[in-house]
Amino acid sequence: MPIFGGKENNVFVTIDRHLEAVESTIIKLRELVGAYVNGEIEKAETLMGEVEELERKADSLRREIERMLYQGAFLPVNRGDYARLSELVDSVADAAESAAHSLILAKPKVPADLKQEILELLDYSLRTYQLLEEAVKALNTNVDEAIEYVKKTEIAEEDADKIEYSLLRKVFESEKITTFAKIIWDKVITKIGDIADRAEDASDQVLLMALKRRG
């Protein structure tokens, strides 16, 4: 059974919408990068606008959560926790948008032998975020389940880190990639990795809130 009620339930609905908007931003980034590495540059540029729109939607929902908190949802001791959580979750969408900007503005040549690994990193980053989503949703109903999802988020983030490191090493060791392209791919890959890193940061906040609630 949910732990809260009344105004809090409206906040939880908005939190769910925010989580979904952030996830949609990452999924759209995955589509954009997929198009780019397959040579569909115009499609990728069009998708850039969709990434931006989804990030704006996520940011608007974050502000809506904050407004609802300031209007009296939750006890004062809990409001800061939820405000901080929504801020950390929203930063994941920021990372996705930033990765898209870096790629589309600079348009580096795609290292053909690393296409699949680039997309794999996106998949792992998305998976890390999706586990965070489950942790946040469980926080309202089952703190033990939330803690389990936090642990899974941490493991997924570590897996994403390994792929990111391997990918960056291959980029910098390659003799086929120009110096300019190496610099840009370093930024893009690091920002894609930031999606998983920021999801893990948000999971730390979920853990803190779950432990407080469990006592």
Instruction: Give the model's pLDDT for residue 3.
Output: 46
CATH class assigned to 7-214: mainly alpha
Q: How high is the mean pLDDT in each 10-residue block of the chain (215 residues)?
A: 58 94 98 98 98 98 92 73 95 98 97 95 98 95 96 98 97 95 97 98 97 82
The encoded tokens of residue 23 equal 């996830």
Q: Within 13 A of 146's CA, how many CA atoms are on the CB side? A: 21
**pLDDT reported for residue 215:** 66
Question: What confidence score (pLDDT) does residue 162 get?
Answer: 97
Q: State the pLDDT at residue 77.
A: 61
Predicted pLDDT at 159: 98
Instruction: Please state the φ and ψ torsions of residue 108, each to the nearest 5 degrees.
Output: -70, 155
From the number of C-beta atoms within 10 Å of its C-beta (0-12, 13-18, 19+), residue 18 rates as: buried
pLDDT of residue 2: 45
Whole-number Cα distances in Å, 110 to 30, 52, 118, 186: 15, 23, 10, 12
- Domain map of the chain by residue range? 7-214
Model-level pTM?
0.93
**Helix, strand or coil for residue 215?**
coil
Q: How far apart are the C-alpha atoms of 34 and 50, rounded to whole Å?
A: 14
Q: Quick one: pLDDT at residue 42? A: 97
Question: What is the predicted pLDDT for the residue at 11?
Answer: 85
Question: From start to end of the chain, where are the E strands?
Answer: none
Distance CA 86, CA 94 (A): 13
Distance in angstroms between the alpha carbons of the first and the last residue of the chain = 18
**Closest Cα partner for 21 from 100, 121, 102, 89?**
89
